[in-house]
Amino acid sequence: MRGTVISFDWSYRGFQACVLENDLLRVAVLPQVGAKVHQLIFKPADRDLLYHHPRTEVRQPVFGANVDNWWTGGIDECVPTGAPCVVGGEELPYLGEAWSMPWTAQQVSATEVTFTREGVITPFRIERTMSLAPGEPFVRMRHRLTNIGTAPFPFIWGVHPGLPVGPATTIQIPARTGVIQDSWPDDRLGASGATYPWPMAELTELAQEPGGTWDMHYATDLDDGWLAVWDAQWQSGFGMTFPHDLFRCVWVWLVDGGWRGIRCVAVEPWTGYPSALDEAMAAGHARELPPGESLTAETRLIGFTTSTPIRGFDDGGQPIR
């Protein structure tokens, strides 16, 4: 293959798929299902880097539904909350509003597609332009989040990649502090609200067999804006880069067989924590956009090869060792 190919001629389970492809990556996005990044195939490793729930098929979500009963894996956009909560008298759904709604999609150049969605409960517009240049091992995502209402818009915003756990998986985040939200069973790694020096090996160096546990932690005090989830036996992994002055923490949701019989991890850059917007507001960790104002950010979804720890990614998307 030469150059970049973008096609809207594909479908998956009856949903239109927008496919961006070059020599190294094949990316499939489902505009009708929250503009979910459903597939991220890294061709040098011949594998899809994303997790896919073995028992939950892609189907049209019901707005306001419990995301746990609809989540299929892949990468979702989450705004203005993580956990369901009530803010300003309005009930905000689990993982926010964008993941469960159809987005518009428009090809804007030979290498770029823009996906757009507006809020139903809260007055935001989110735009995500995905571009895939020839020969590059990463997809650029340029985001713009705009308050289209008449009053200030409080929010937390995150990108939620679901990733598989392999035989020798390692999670790397350049953080200095971990904060526990949940650790099941019996607060095994500490009680909710406890802090510790990041990393904690039980959370970042995963055993070959599932431990029958699940955890939700926040990696905070970031020194840089990147994350990596890789497997030494697969010799490949998923990486992200992001502006850490905006995405100030990384949520780690590790399901090690202790929730619904699955094993996966979501390693997610977010603008704040805890996971419920009302609690993040009370903690001073939420953001607020005045009417008519926007935030912009560029993130990258990266496929890479490694069997040893890395120290980040260079401008070409290659791991720094």
Return the domain boundaries, the chain.
5-304
- β-sheet bridge partners, residue 100: none
Q: What is the DSSP string of 191-250?
A: -TT-EEESP-HHHHB--SS--SEEEEEEEES-SSSEEEEEETTTTEEEEEE--TTTS-EE
Rounded Cα distance, 1 and 196, in Å: 48
Say yes or no to pLDDT of 2 above 80.
no
Beta strands in 32-176 (DSSP E): 36-42, 47-48, 75-78, 85-87, 90-92, 104-109, 112-118, 124-131, 138-147, 153-155, 158-164, 169-172
Residue linked to tokens 């309005």: 90
The confidence band for 199, taking pLDDT boundaries of 50, 70 and 90, is very high
Nearest to 244 by CA among 228, 225, 227: 225
Say yes or no to pLDDT of 265 above 90.
yes
Residue linked to tokens 């899809």: 48
- 3-state DSSP assignment of residue 274: coil
- 3-state DSSP assignment of residue 282: helix
Total Cβ atoms within 10 A of residue 118: 17
Question: Which residues are CB-neighbours of 1 under 8 A, at least 6 positions away?
Answer: 21, 22, 23
| Neighbour-count burial for 45-79, b at 16+ CB within 10 Å, e otherwise | bebbbbbbbeeeebeebeeeeebeebbbbbbbbbb
Residue linked to tokens 């120290």: 311
Rounded Cα distance, 203 and 214, in Å: 10
Total Cβ atoms within 10 A of residue 256: 22
Predicted local confidence at residue 8, as pLDDT:
97
The percent of residues in the chain predicted with pLDDT above 70, rounded, is 100
- Top-tier CATH class for 5-304: mainly beta
Residue 93 is classified by DSSP as: P
As a 3-state breakdown, the chain gives helix, strand, coil percent values, each rounded to 5, of: 5, 50, 45
Read off the pLDDT of residues 100-111 as tens digits, 9 standing for 90 and up. Answer: 999 999 999 999
Residue 151 is classified by DSSP as: S
- Is the overall model pTM greater than 0.75, yes or no? yes
Read off the pLDDT of residues 34-90 as tens digits, 9 standing for 90 and up. Answer: 999 999 999 999 999 999 999 999 999 999 999 999 999 999 999 999 999 999 999
